[in-house]
Copies of this chain bind each other. A is one copy, B any other.
Amino acid sequence: MPCNNISSGATYLGDGFCFFRVWAPRSEKVAVHLLTPQERLIPLQRAERGYHCGKAAGVEPGSLYYYLLDGKKERPDPASRYQPEGVHGPSQVLGRCNFAWTDHGWRGLSLKELIFYEIHVGTFTPQGTFDAIIPRLESIRELGATAIELMPVAQFPGRRNWGYDGVYPFAVQNSYGGPDGLKRLADACHRHGLALFLDVVYNHLGPEGNYLRDFGPYFTDRYRTPWGEAVNFDGPGSNEVRQFFIENALYWLTEYHLDGLRLDAVHAITDKSALPFLEELADAVHRQANELGRRIYLIAESDLNDPRLIWPRERGGLGLDGQWSDDFHHALHSLLTGEKNGYYQDFGTVEHLAGAFREGYVYTGQYSAYRQRRHGKTPGPAGACRFVVFIQNHDQVGNRAGGERLSSLVDFDRLKLAAGTLLLSPFLPLIFMGEEYAETSPFLYFTSHSDPELANSLHEWRKKEFAAFRWSVQVPDPQDETTFLRSCLHYELHREGRHSVLRDFYRELIRLRREIPALSELSRENLQAGACNREQALLVR
């Protein structure tokens, strides 16, 4: 079997045969060190461009292995499908898919139908697993959301993490229920008519358990990110790095039947290639969607207000399907709360919000005092359904010193006003788990790194990041389990008192959005938005 016809990682072929493929251009010799069922070394052949591969007999699903690099370093598989013992442990061979999928008729949803419900698996339920989400799908569907969006589930260190410290892009977090758990959730979502999106992180890897640099030039020092080494998307070896992440995207969409990916912080991807990684990724994903006969979307988080992301390739764009609009959030949040610290200093008038309604972004080239430069560009022909908007999300809640949800910052009337602004907007709304019933718990930043020094330095960095906001609250220790436990939802609240009133209000707004043609059309062209500053009123028609 030629090395380039099969994706990286351990691919089980049946009958005890397994194909291993790893990109390790820095190693002359790579062997698989099989730990189970019987310990032995399986040397791989060196193939073109730094790949090493080989077909081995006597390997069963469930076998544990490391790669042995040049007879010296033992490392888990960068493309490991499962890390049952966590980020430092061996990788596991998965069997061929024998999951009993029931979603054969599922073709996905149209972009316009999408109403996201963002979930952090660990805190959404007491169990913190994929399986525990399934019984709640009915109520999410009943609320009117049409898509679940999971925060990242790629294997991260420990059991408590937002997911952005993942270091095995292909491996489903062991403590969430592993690969089969995610498949059961995807299948159940589709049974309920819900799409399932996943947040994936291609701009950096977490600081603990990242062994990729022992294999090859996955990273570069030519650029920096706030979270560590920048991924090498345009230097020597970058085709293989791209291939790794493109295979990753296709893997989630195909193996787990996912309906789309949210690409974390693409502004932290620096890539000067004539064919940028994101363009190549979008092309590969859309071709795969065609082959699968399903509607699949790539939606980027971006801080650039750059419509190039969502413009079609014929117009010089990268061809992604949509992007998050932080500006919409900031405009509404600063209006509702009166906050003017940190990046909120760029917002605070009704006209800002009107701008967000007209353009998707507020900043389309104006000077930003926070950024100390002009920011953004008008999105031109990009339609309203290219923008995902929110009044809360994991970042906007969790990146506050106290992790306060909007419900603990403003009164009930304002919560309703916010909901109306969100759900009657022409954009694709995203609801952060618990938002719809004014959940009382905060959503704090939590980790469970095993290296105390690392944990401490990250905590200090975070405190520094918050300095611009001058929050009076103390930043809780992310490593403290209490910080995690405080962030867990009290989902049953949604049936009680004013919690249930708010939830009913959300449901009613979503119904209106769906049923009134002027709302369901999601048009920016036919929309006029203006601000009456004296009355603090936003007029949209």
- CA of A315 to CA of B273, assembled, Å: 18
Question: B222–A367 contact, CB under 8 A?
Answer: no
Q: Chain B residues near A14 (CB, 8 Å)? A: none
Shortest beta-carbon distance, A46 to chain B, in Å? Answer: 16
Question: B235–A376 contact, CB under 8 A?
Answer: no
Interface string of A249-282 (1 = CB under 8 A from B): 0000000000000000001001011110000000
Query: Which listed residue, B311, B317, B373, touches A234 by the CB 8 Å rule?
Result: B373
- CA of A270 to CA of B315, assembled, Å: 22
- CA of A373 to CA of B316, assembled, Å: 22
- A307 close to B (CB within 8 Å): yes
Q: Chain B residues near A371 (CB, 8 Å)? A: 236
Known: A239-B373, A317-B316. A272 touches B270 (CB 8 A): yes
Interface string of A362-378 (1 = CB under 8 A from B): 00010100011111110
Question: B373–A223 contact, CB under 8 A?
Answer: no
A interface residues, how many (CB within 8 angstroms): 34
Question: B272–A236 contact, CB under 8 A?
Answer: no
Shortest beta-carbon distance, A211 to chain B, in Å? Answer: 22
Question: B373–A275 contact, CB under 8 A?
Answer: no
- A351 close to B (CB within 8 Å): no
Query: Which listed residue, B237, B267, B375, touches A372 by the CB 8 Å rule?
Result: B237
Q: Chain B residues near A315 (CB, 8 Å)? A: 315-316
- A438 close to B (CB within 8 Å): no
- CA of A22 to CA of B305, assembled, Å: 30
Q: Chain B residues near A224 (CB, 8 Å)? A: 221-223
Query: Which listed residue, B236, B275, B316, B367, touches A316 by the CB 8 Å rule?
Result: B316
- CA of A386 to CA of B388, assembled, Å: 39
Question: B307–A376 contact, CB under 8 A?
Answer: no
Known: A272-B267, A274-B304. A373 touches B222 (CB 8 A): no
- A131 close to B (CB within 8 Å): no
- CA of A311 to CA of B308, assembled, Å: 14
Q: Please, which residue of chain B has its CB at the minimum distance from the CB of A375?
A: B274
Question: A373–B236 contact, CB under 8 A?
Answer: yes
Q: Chain B residues near A92 (CB, 8 Å)? A: none
Question: B316–A274 contact, CB under 8 A?
Answer: no
Q: Chain B residues near A235 (CB, 8 Å)? A: 373
- A447 close to B (CB within 8 Å): no
Interface string of A478-505 (1 = CB under 8 A from B): 0000000000000000000000000000
- A306 close to B (CB within 8 Å): yes
Question: A236–B372 contact, CB under 8 A?
Answer: yes
Q: Please, which residue of chain B has its CB at the minimum distance from the CB of A236?
A: B372
Q: Please, which residue of chain B has its CB at the minimum distance from the CB of A377?
A: B274
- A80 close to B (CB within 8 Å): no
Q: Which of A375-400 contact B (CB under 8 A)?
A: 375-377
- A123 close to B (CB within 8 Å): no
Q: Chain B residues near A316 (CB, 8 Å)? A: 308, 311, 315-317
Q: Please, which residue of chain B has its CB at the minimum distance from the CB of A361?
A: B274
- A238 close to B (CB within 8 Å): yes
Q: Chain B residues near A267 (CB, 8 Å)? A: 272
Known: A308-B316, A315-B315, A317-B316. A373 touches B237 (CB 8 A): yes
Interface string of A212-241 (1 = CB under 8 A from B): 000000000111100000000011111100
Question: A275–B372 contact, CB under 8 A?
Answer: no
Interface string of A329-373 (1 = CB under 8 A from B): 000000000000000000000000000000000000101000111
Question: B374–A272 contact, CB under 8 A?
Answer: no
Question: B223–A305 contact, CB under 8 A?
Answer: no
Q: Chain B residues near A223 (CB, 8 Å)? A: 222-224, 270
Question: A275–B234 contact, CB under 8 A?
Answer: no
Query: Which listed residue, B275, B304, B373, touches A238 by the CB 8 Å rule?
Result: B373
Shortest beta-carbon distance, A359 to chain B, in Å? Answer: 12
Shortest beta-carbon distance, A482 to chain B, in Å? Answer: 36
Q: Chain B residues near A238 (CB, 8 Å)? A: 373
Q: Chain B residues near A365 (CB, 8 Å)? A: 274-275
Q: Chain B residues near A373 (CB, 8 Å)? A: 234-239, 273
Q: Chain B residues near A222 (CB, 8 Å)? A: 223-224
Q: Chain B residues near A306 (CB, 8 Å)? A: 272-274
Q: Please, which residue of chain B has its CB at the minimum distance from the CB of A313?
A: B316
Q: Can you list 21 A-B pairs, Cβ within 8 angstroms, ordered by A?
A: A221-B224, A222-B223, A222-B224, A234-B373, A236-B372, A236-B373, A237-B372, A239-B373, A267-B272, A270-B272, A272-B304, A272-B306, A273-B304, A274-B306, A274-B377, A275-B365, A275-B374, A311-B316, A315-B315, A315-B316, A316-B317
Residues in A lying within 8 Å of B, measured CB to CB: 221-224, 234-239, 267, 270, 272-275, 304-308, 311, 315-317, 365, 367, 371-377
